[in-house]
Amino acid sequence: MAATANAPELRTCATTGFRVDESGRRLALAYAVAAVLMLAAGGVMAIFIALQRQGLPISDDWWYRLVASHGATMLLFWLLLFEVAALYWGSTMLLNARMRAPRVAWGVFGAMLLGIALAQWAMFSGNATVMFTAYPPLTAHPLYYLGILLFAGGVLVAICLFFANVVMARRERTYEGSLPLVVYGFAAAAIIGVYSLLTGAAAYLLLFLQSVGVLTEVDPALYRILFWGIGHGAQQVNLAAMVAVWYALIGLTLGGRPVNEGLSRFAFVLLIAFIHLGAVHHLMVDPGLGTSHRIMNTSYLLYLAVLASLIHAFSVPAGIEAAQRERGIGKGLFGWLVRAPWREPGFSSLVLSVVYFGFVAGVSGVLMGTMQLNMLIHNTLFVVGHFHATVVSGTTLAFMGISYYLLPLLARRELVGTRIARWQPYVFAGGVALLTLAMLAAGQMGVPRRVADLGYADAPVGVTQFGEGAVPLMMTLVSVGAILAVVGGVMYVWVMVRTLLVGERTDAPLANLALRFGPTAAPPPAPASELPHNGLKGRWARFEAPGTYAMVLFFLAWFVVLYVVAHFNLAQSWPVG
């Protein structure tokens, strides 16, 4: 930090006009590249996990190792590495600011890679087949816990550097007024990250101490509440980062902004304040908790974090709608959506991610988190379907979408493979949709998670239920969806790797984005007098985003129907209490 005074001048990015600090750019690029490599590795594991269900001969032992590593590789390594890249990008480039303490940041990067290597070694050598959750009394090799701790500690330091960047940028007045909305969203993710990582570190520290013999025992219930501080909290980091990326994609693809800046920011504050209570979703059918405790926590205190998501569910599409209408694109209720830049991967990823996150991921999550409904869902494949809907078709798809801008900008190279990029979000989203819907359905039929053999061939007391009826069909669809999703993933990785390796070096990457991705260079904004008129009548004419309003009402109707159906199903079960 002492070097700031005589540090070289910042370069001005020819594409965006932002002023770019080289060390921040390189760091963000390194994290993004590492993240993409982790995604590729996790995708390879996904193929084996899925094909084992269709008869690929993999031993049970190895199947469990693959499931364990797939979880850690995707949920922890891919997402958090990419999020650190986004944090560094947001806190330097978007604020025209310098990266603070770059040497520390590089050291942390090295420590995180070491952590990944240790954890992967432990999992693949069979020394840590405890799954992502690592529930005691199952025990793993100490180096597994140490690896995860190193990685999590690294993320924590990276978050501190993010805040240092933001604070110093403010002090040096590198930007005017308030933080850009995207950086504000990243800050929300970072704040949630702090307490998530701290509780997670506490949980893993207990296990580490037990594994080296300092502690004789770790209370399983205490561990579960600590673990879900990160197990759930990290998903909320993903959620906040994803929403921030959604807003970023509105800016990048349409030059849009939220119709009400204040409301969007308020929703991020709600998220920070209440989302961590959701950790108890995972403890809904645990012994040891009272009814009021369960209800208050599982509902994020009156569902105030769900309210935050419902606000974004309006604000994000409304931002798209407003940006389109401002340009005079699309009359009537949905013309703006029909005439949107569907060929641009950033835009298609944005819309697919928002729609799928809302209709499937969000709704299934609230159903799971409803205390009594959880009895029908806990630890079934429904849970797996839910979190693939959130972090794969939601967060991962959004991150892929922004990569098409972020990586060329960070690498200062032209994007290579634009035709593949155009199709990629559709292929990936289609695959994940099939995968998750089939998992949700199989979970409803009782299929348990993380079971290597659903035929229970070696079980003394046989179970034939999962070889009958619709279950085998659902499991086949899971595999087909997984393969399709991996194809989409390969397309993404291919474009990224080619861009990084053979993309033309340039000071102005993406300069003619509009030519590449179809008609995104929209006509110039219409004259002010024509702006408010959306061609609708009555009260709809006064709405800022009438099309969005109609869509969110439809979404709510869908939500209500599923909520009622779920309770109808619950009522069919054996009386229990």
Partner 1 sequence: MSAAGVTEHGGSPPPGGEPPRSTLTPPPRVWWKRLGPDERRWLIVAFVWCLVLFSGMYVWLGIGEQQTPIESYRITTSDFAAEADTYIADRQVGEQDGVPVVEPIPGEDVYLVASQFQFRPILRLQRDETYRLLVSSTDVQHGLSLQPTNLNFQVLPGYLYVIRVTPDETGEFPLVCNEFCGLGHHVMTGKIIVED
Q: Left, alpha or beta for 193 (phi > 0: left; psi -120 to 50: alpha)?
A: alpha
What is the nearest approach in angstroms of partner 1 to the Cβ of residue 18?
7
What is the nearest approach in angstroms of partner 1 to the Cβ of residue 241?
14
* Spatial distance between the Cα atoms of 128 and 140, rounded to a whole number of angstroms: 4
19: enclosing H helix or E strand: strand 19-20
**Which residue, 152 or 182, is less far from partner 1 as judged by CB?**
182
**Which residue, 205 or 445, is less far from partner 1 as judged by CB?**
445
* Spatial distance between the Cα atoms of 253 and 316, rounded to a whole number of angstroms: 13
Say which DSSP state 13 is in. Answer: P
**Which residue, 258 or 394, is less far from partner 1 as judged by CB?**
258
**Which residue, 34 or 74, is less far from partner 1 as judged by CB?**
74
**Which residue, 204 or 247, is less far from partner 1 as judged by CB?**
247
Say which DSSP state 21 is in. Answer: -
What is the nearest approach in angstroms of partner 1 to the Cβ of residue 286?
5
**Which residue, 206 or 510, is less far from partner 1 as judged by CB?**
510
Q: How many CB atoms lie within 10 A of CB 559?
A: 17
What is the nearest approach in angstroms of partner 1 to the Cβ of residue 350?
11
What is the nearest approach in angstroms of partner 1 to the Cβ of residue 40?
25
**Which residue, 424 or 444, is less far from partner 1 as judged by CB?**
444
The closest of 106, 104, 102, 85 to 39, measured between CA atoms, is 85
* Spatial distance between the Cα atoms of 212 and 123, rounded to a whole number of angstroms: 18
Q: Find where tokens 């993409």 sit.
A: 36
**Which residue, 158 or 377, is less far from partner 1 as judged by CB?**
377
Q: Left, alpha or beta for 153 (phi > 0: left; psi -120 to 50: alpha)?
A: alpha
Residues 6+ apart with CB under 8 A from 153: 111, 115, 197, 201
Token pair of 555 as six digits: 């979404």
What is the nearest approach in angstroms of partner 1 to the Cβ of residue 382?
10
**Which residue, 34 or 333, is less far from partner 1 as judged by CB?**
333
* Spatial distance between the Cα atoms of 409 and 507, rounded to a whole number of angstroms: 9
What is the nearest approach in angstroms of partner 1 to the Cβ of residue 446?
4
Cβ distance 282 to 230 under 8 Å? no
What is the nearest approach in angstroms of partner 1 to the Cβ of residue 338?
20
What is the nearest approach in angstroms of partner 1 to the Cβ of residue 371?
5
**Which residue, 210 or 493, is less far from partner 1 as judged by CB?**
210
The closest of 471, 405, 396, 487 to 439, measured between CA atoms, is 471
What is the nearest approach in angstroms of partner 1 to the Cβ of residue 557?
11
**Which residue, 533 or 542, is less far from partner 1 as judged by CB?**
542
What is the nearest approach in angstroms of partner 1 to the Cβ of residue 510?
7
**CA distances to 34, 230, 435, 577 from 285, in Å:** 38, 19, 26, 11
Q: How many CB atoms lie within 10 A of CB 279?
A: 24
Q: What is the DSSP string of 117-178?
A: HHHHHHHHTTS--STTT--TTS---HHHHHHHHHHHHHHHHHHHHHHHHHHHHHHTT-S-SS
What is the nearest approach in angstroms of partner 1 to the Cβ of residue 467?
12
What is the nearest approach in angstroms of partner 1 to the Cβ of residue 48?
17
What is the nearest approach in angstroms of partner 1 to the Cβ of residue 57?
15
Classify residue 462 as exposed, middle or buried by CB count within 10 Å of its CB (0-12, 13-18, 19+).
exposed
Q: Is the peptide bond before 519 cis (omega within 30 degrees of 0)?
A: no
**Which residue, 32 or 245, is less far from partner 1 as judged by CB?**
245
Three-class SS state of 505:
strand
Token pair of 285 as six digits: 């059918």
**Which residue, 107 or 532, is less far from partner 1 as judged by CB?**
532
Three-class SS state of 559:
helix
* φ and ψ of 99, to 5 deg: -80, 125
The closest of 195, 193, 322 to 257, measured between CA atoms, is 322
Residues 6+ apart with CB under 8 A from 183: 90, 91, 94, 95, 166, 244
Q: What is the DSSP string of 280-325?
A: GGGGTT-TT--HHHHHHHHTHHHHHHHHHHHHHHHHHHHHHHHHHH
**Which residue, 94 or 150, is less far from partner 1 as judged by CB?**
94
